[in-house]
Amino acid sequence: MDKEERKTINKGQEDEMEIHGYHLCRWKLAMVSVGVICTGGFLLLLLYWMPEWRVKATCIRAAVKDCEVVLLRTTDEFRTWFCAKVHFLPLGNQPNLNAKSLANKVSNGHAVHLTENLTEENKCELNKYSQTQSQQMRYFTHHSVRYFWNDAIHNFDFLKGLDEGVSCTSIYEKHSAGLTKGMHAYRKLLYGVNEIAVKVPSVFKLLIKEVLNPFYIFQLFSVILWSIDEYYYYALAIVIMSIVSIISSLYSIRKQYVMLHDMVATHSTVRVSVCRVNEEIEEIFSTDLVPGDVMIIPLNGTVMPCDAVLINGTCIVNESMLTGESVPVTKTNLPNPSVDVKGIGEELYSPETHKRHTLFCGTTVIQTRFYTGELVKAIVVRTGFSTSKGQLVRSILYPKPTDFKLYRDAYLFLLCLVVVAGIGFIYTIINSILNKKEVQEIIIKSLDIITITVPPALPAAMTAGIVYAQRRLKKVGIFCISPQRINICGQLNLVCFDKTGTLTEDGLDLWGIQRVENTRFLLPEDNVCSEMMVKSQFVACMATCHSLTKIEGVLSGDPLDLKMFEAIGWILEEATEEETALHNRIMPTVVRPSKQLLPESTTAGNQEMELFELPAIYEIGIVRQFPFSSALQRMSVVARVLGDKKMDAYMKGAPEVIASLCKPETVPVDFEKVLEDYTKQGFRVIALAHRKLESKLTWHKVQHINRDAIENNMDFMGLIIMQNKLKQETPAVLEDLHKANIRTVMVTGDNMLTAVSVARDCGMILPQDKVIIAEALPPKDGKVAKINWHYTDSLTQGNESSAIDSEAIPIKLAHDSLEDLQLTRYHFAMNGKSFSIILEHFQDLVPKLMLHGTVFARMAPDQKTQLVEALQNVDYFVGMCGDGANDCGALKRAHGGISLSELEASVASPFTSKTPSISCVPNLIREGRAALMTSFCVFKFMALYSIIQYFSVTLLYSILSNLGDFQFLFIDLAIILVVVFTMSLNPAWKELVAQRPPSGLISGALLFSVLSQIIICVGFQSLGFFWVKQYKVCDPYSDVCNITRSACWNSSHLYNGTELDTCKIQNYENTTVFFISSFQYLTVAIAFSKGKPFRQPCYKNYFFVISVIILYVFILFIMLHPVASVDQVLEIMFVPYQWRIYMLIIVLINAFVSITVESFFLDTVLWKLVFNRDKQGECRSTTTQPPQESVDRWGKCCLSWALSCRKKTPKAKYMYLAQELLFDPEWPPKPQTTTEAKTVVKENGSCQISTIT
């Protein structure tokens, strides 16, 4: 097994990679060195750009176990190559540090996982430790992660801490005592320095890396070539442009590095106190922390330098860096199974599962609460880049490549230009040889044709539109950290929205309560703050069951808890440090009603009597708190009323969960109906429960009891109804998106029926639309997984039966196009649990559900990411809009992630909106479409510029002539650069339209546009070139020219080089080609500068209009009224006035044909009939479309025979699927039916439908 040359690391994870082993080979190195010298360094550059070639050219294959170099390739769709050198970590030079002792202290052979038994347990691993004699360990580093060779698994594996494979029991029994100094030294050697090192590269390093970009190398080659050919002015202009581009790029890259460095540097080096085995407290730098260290959390708080699990005390933490919410979170110590009343056995510790007990790196500890004489302690579980913050920084430092069709097509287009250049290269060589030119001139001229065909200014021109779009986005409060994503946002056809804080207001308002008495619901009440209810268990639950705390005297915590507590008008008091110090335990938080709420008898009497009435004061102390868990969907507290002997347990959470933990006889019979009524109206409902605890439960026992022992056998008390109002702009924004045929999807952690109701209220689901709830059940008791389909009632139908009439089932007919799919009127809704089951057991159904899935409720953060990936798998361009809380994964995975939070979590999102409003989504898509169309226009223009100039030079080469230096300079600088940088300034169109721009350059409309303009330009240039040849023969002035030119050619040995070049350049053909081509550049710029429907009309782009007018006037002036000085500089020949008029006629006809073909024929006929792809496969009807019926009929009649307008298979998977579902009689599923997973292994994921009788 060790001799295998290829293995897989990080299997099943997002960063899964294949790994190949290699040994350095001296003879290959020698051959490569010779090749580098022979190619003038070009081979070295090629190997620098291609890691795979570099390794294979200098190394030979070897076993991964013994290799010196590893070659890595990602297993995703990008298949990216990386290489890394294998290093050796010496162990022998450390005191008492050898492989044997290390094996006894660290498991899995090569310390890939920390041990739980420091003595005898891992001696059996010693036999697997194949390098015990070498006193060294082999490892390589990739993307800031160390991978060590692990003999146990015969592969490289990254170094893990205490976050995997360590039980909660061992956290206390084996790790809570701390590390010895010797063990600390061992682990420090393995884990390295605890820092998230974002090194800001020096300017010199960045410069070298930037300059070695293939584009700049090509520019350097072009400049050298032009300098040899004495094109000094243009070469200098390109050098200046390249320098400006490099400086701008360096500034931008370095600025991003500095920002990221500053973000992670907040905890880089601070002093921390750690406990050692002998109970000694040692103060060390945070950079010296290793997994297993017991860190003491200071009283005044700190910024966590690592991930650590709390084992003693309580902390109030601000986790805004991770969650995007600045709401303080209470962290309690990890339950100790050995002392719990009901142990949790060998449950493995996980930072994600036990996040309520984990302090994450980068989060701020605001307050600590502790026992007298005991410190607040936490065990370090992860350090450096392994921490939660480190992983976030890694995702920013090493992002996945952006896969966008535009960029792939751009490379293909450039390849086509290279092929064209190759043809010109061969033609030039053959033509020069036939005319017996010198070898040096042949080489220069033939290479020059390549630099003409592939324009060096192309990348700068393509970037201009994105830069302008970025500036416009900044003006409307949208900030971008990934400019390349702006173009991709122009293709978004589906946007996922978080609900709370995104579609709805951030806070909740208390609408009312509905209590339960004698297992029956009372009437709803809107006033909780009353004397009658002040001592009720219902109000006591509202007063105690929360995670609120006072920070600097201000009550803070979860917004829902705040609203609930404020509604009852009680007061919360926390013990001070001095009060806590007087007792041998943490003083409980006390809540009590304000004096106005208490009955008068309690507060009556004079001041002398108040001391004797203290027992009558109604106070409740919160003894133990079990924080809210999103996995459990509930929280609970243990409290005691002052003077009572027994304690009370209070619980609140999701109604379905709370009801399941209550005595069935205490839950009203109509519980489900009442809950459904509220959720359908869009209310957020929370249930409350209570029970008296046994008197044998003392304060000490409660501190160590497991929450499962408390949260059962409760009495159901009633419901709290919270109202979550829609934001004012939400319905209008969603309507705009729907009109633009952009699907909207809701992804929320809230109740499903509430989410469906909000979706109806905001217009995401129209009143007449049907909602099908997919309720998936996992395999159980030998039965296969199944999905139950339920049809919900729309609000307009009230409480009528959900039986479906004939009008409710979408009528599916065969249509000429996919546009009629817009008429389908059903949506799928499901919760996170069902979504996970469907992903696992019903893979065939996933694409179908993605096509019409609209509401996804109770979704965990990882499920949101999976949903985005599932939508992308059916070829949707997915946008994600969230408030930053738990949306980071989805924001990063989506094509366009927009964070409505400006907190640090937004650093993971490509876009951040300054205003927390979803109105940023249409703005971003509009700017994205404008930037995308600008990129298309610029690319087409640059392609035409290359072809026009290429053909001009090719024509002139045929008569052994060429364009002059200043002619090149005038065209490339005065015309091309000015036009390119001004034509990109068109702002976005004021509203979203249903039509979408193409996703790539290799599309029918764009190819037809480019090819038609090439044919037109080449045709008119050829017309002018050959016409001027005939004109010279007939023109009396042509003899003089011919004699002069003949003298120049025949007496070339009498003239110096400059005079000879003048004779070559100044001729009828050159002047004609120069004027015609100059006008052609401006003509195609106007033709390609399209406005509506994605950009503002070009006449509103004042800089472009003024530039084009000035250039037109200037060129027209020097053509019709020659100026001697200008003619001399541009090397233009004085031609008869009659020929100037002929050139003007050619130019005018050329302009008319070009603009007519581009603006009328292409846009009106071909685009709408043949290349239109934007309205297919969507799930919503468009309300307004421009009337094009007559044009469409005319176009179909004229073009059907030539363009074969037949039904074709759509390219996008979701469109193809929508077409298939038109003829599927079993879809959508009928109400009250069940889909069961097949048990046949070979058809995993397929399903069959059976009706429940």
Q: Which residues are catalytic?
A: 498
Phi, psi of 575 (to 5 degrees): -70, 140
Give kind and range of the element (H or E) at residue 227.
helix 214-228
Q: Are strands 69-74 and 364-369 parallel, antiparallel or unpaired?
A: unpaired
Burial of residue 771, with CB atoms counted within 10 A of its CB: 0-12 exposed, 13-18 middle, 19 or more buried: buried
How far apart CA 1080 and CA 1143 sit, in angstroms, is 12
Structure tokens at 543: 């007063």
How far apart CA 84 and CA 68 sit, in angstroms, is 9
Per-residue DSSP letters for 467-506?
HHHHHHHHHTTEEES-THHHHHHTT--EEEE-IIIIIB-S
Indicate the Cα dihedral angle 1235, 1240, 1241, 1247, nearest 10°: -20
User: 141: which residues sit within 8 A by CB, 6+ positions away?
Assistant: 84, 87, 147
Amino acid at 601: S
**705 secondary structure, DSSP code:** -
Angle (CA) 160 163 169, round 5°: 125
Closest CA to 995 of 850, 1178, 853: 1178
The SS3 of residue 686 is strand
Q: Are strands 911-913 and 896-899 parallel, antiparallel or unpaired?
A: parallel
Indicate the Cα dihedral angle 802, 807, 808, 813, nearest 10°: 150
Buried b (16+ CB within 10 A) or exposed e, 343-366: eeeeeebebeebbbbbbbbbbbbb
How far apart CA 632 and CA 205 sit, in angstroms, is 51
For CA atoms 629, 827, 870, 1241, the dihedral sign is positive
Structure tokens at 1005: 């409309």
Residue pair 835/785 in contact (Cβ under 8 Å)? The answer is: no
Question: What radius of gyration, in Å, describes the C-alpha atoms of the chain?
Answer: 37
Measure the N-to-C terminal CA separation of the chain; round to a whole number of Å. 56
Largest CA distance in the chain: 130
How far apart CA 1069 and CA 961 sit, in angstroms, is 9
Angle (CA) 219 220 226, round 5°: 85
In 26-154, where does DSSP find H-type helix?
26-38, 42-49, 51-58, 99-105
The distance from CA 619 to its chain's CA centroid, rounded to whole angstroms, is: 50
How far apart CA 1217 and CA 1231 sit, in angstroms, is 22
User: For the packed helices 920-957 and 1004-1034, what is the interaxial angle rounded to 10 degrees?
Assistant: 30
Q: Are strands 878-882 and 896-899 parallel, antiparallel or unpaired?
A: parallel
**116 secondary structure, DSSP code:** S
Phi-psi domain of 592 (left: phi exceeds 0; alpha: psi -120 through 50; beta: other)? beta
Amino acid at 156: F
Amino acid at 892: K
The residue written with tokens 């309580």 in the block is 314
Angle (CA) 1129 1135 1139, round 5°: 130
The distance from CA 631 to its chain's CA centroid, rounded to whole angstroms, is: 25
How far apart CA 447 and CA 245 sit, in angstroms, is 25
